[in-house]
Amino acid sequence: MNAVIKLDDIRKTYHTGEVDVQAVRKVSLEIHPGEFVAIMGASGSGKSTLMNILGCLDRPTGGRYSLDGIDVSQLSTDELADIRNQKIGFVFQGFNLLSRTSALENVELPMLYARQHMHSYELREKALHALGVVSLTDRADHHPSQLSGGQQQRVAIARALVNQPALVLADEPTGNLDSRTSVEIMGVFQQLNDRGITIVMVTHEPDIARFTKRSVVMSDGHVVSDTPVTDRLFAGPELERLHSLLDPALQTQ
């Protein structure tokens, strides 16, 4: 099978003042359909820069990046926007939902910028379906401020899924959530991954990375380790464990 992501010698250099900062130096990486990858690293390791390149928000200074069989390293800004729209679903640390806009409309947003026009009932139908995948259909008309952090992040995941992208990119998706909700969200990602959706996630928390299948560690702009996750955690049992820890009364029964 063809790789979803294929990086060849990707480099990114920032020209800030007189010093050139090499944020990413010669990274080569292949991610195949159905993988669930965590990109780890301390801040300044280049993982965010790599994430921006993977998300087609930024262009590499050198090297080749092909996404779902398309060479995207030399595309124009507008072409990249179309790639983001069609091929990538984003999940951010800060949720990044439009405030004062209902969950449903937030999920509809990527479809508004799709190349092909859709009728409003079609938009609604697809958005409701995506909300169903993250089990939030009953909150479709709520605004972000009326939703908990975990619910907001699930709306964001629904938004990421709605255009059926080749890749879901999550940037510290649990960074703003408490540990229990983090596990819930990882559970959602695991479910999606079980359905065959390719997920790449940036995180600095080793515990969260254990929910994935493969862990790529970056340091100083290089990939320093790329290993399968051996002691993998699963959201279901982990939630039960947390539950019992928080409620000792339940344990004694």
Partner 1 sequence: MRILVTIKTALRALRRNKMRSVLTALGIIIGVGAVITMVGIGNGAKAQIEAQIASLGQNVILIFSGSVTRTGVHSGHGGAGTLTVEDAEAMRREIPGVMAVSPELRSAAQVAAGNQNWLPQILGEGPDYFDIRQWPLVEGSPFTPLDVRGATKVAVIGKTTAQQLYGDESPIGQIVRIKNVPFTIVGLLSSKGLSVMGSDQDDVLVVPYTSAMKRVLGTTTLRSIMVQAADAKLLPVVQQQITELLRQRHRIQPGRDDDFTVRGQQDIAEMATAQSKTMTILLGAIASVSLIVGGIGIMNIMLVSVTERTREIGIRMAVGAHANDILLQFLTEAITLSSIGGVIGIAMGVGASKIISLSLDWPTLIPVVWVVVAFLFSAAVGIFFGFYPARKASKLDPIDALRYE
Report d(CA 208, CA 54) in Å as an integer: 20
Q: Which is nearer to partner 1, 70 or 109 (CB)?
A: 109
Q: Which is nearer to partner 1, 78 or 138 (CB)?
A: 78
Beta bridge partners of 202: 39, 171
Beta strands 70-71 and 199-202 are unpaired
Tokens of 188: 């959602």
Q: Which is nearer to partner 1, 114 or 242 (CB)?
A: 114
Please give the order of strands across the beta sheet that includes 19-31.
Answer: 19-31, 5-16, 62-67, 70-71
Binding positions for partner 1, rule: CB under 8 A: 52, 55, 57-58, 77-78, 81-82, 84-86, 90, 92, 96-98, 100, 109-110, 112-114, 117, 159
Residue in 22, 34, 28 with CA at minimum distance from that of residue 216: 28
Question: Whole-number minimum distance, CB 99 to partner 1, in Å?
Answer: 8
Q: Which is nearer to partner 1, 15 or 117 (CB)?
A: 117
Question: Whole-number minimum distance, CB 230 to partner 1, in Å?
Answer: 34
Question: Whole-number minimum distance, CB 151 to partner 1, in Å?
Answer: 18
Packing angle between helix 149-161 and helix 120-133, nearest 10 degrees? 120
Question: Whole-number minimum distance, CB 245 to partner 1, in Å?
Answer: 34
Report d(CA 15, CA 22) in Å as an integer: 9
Question: Whole-number minimum distance, CB 105 to partner 1, in Å?
Answer: 9
Beta strands 222-228 and 167-171 are unpaired
Q: Which is nearer to partner 1, 76 or 252 (CB)?
A: 76
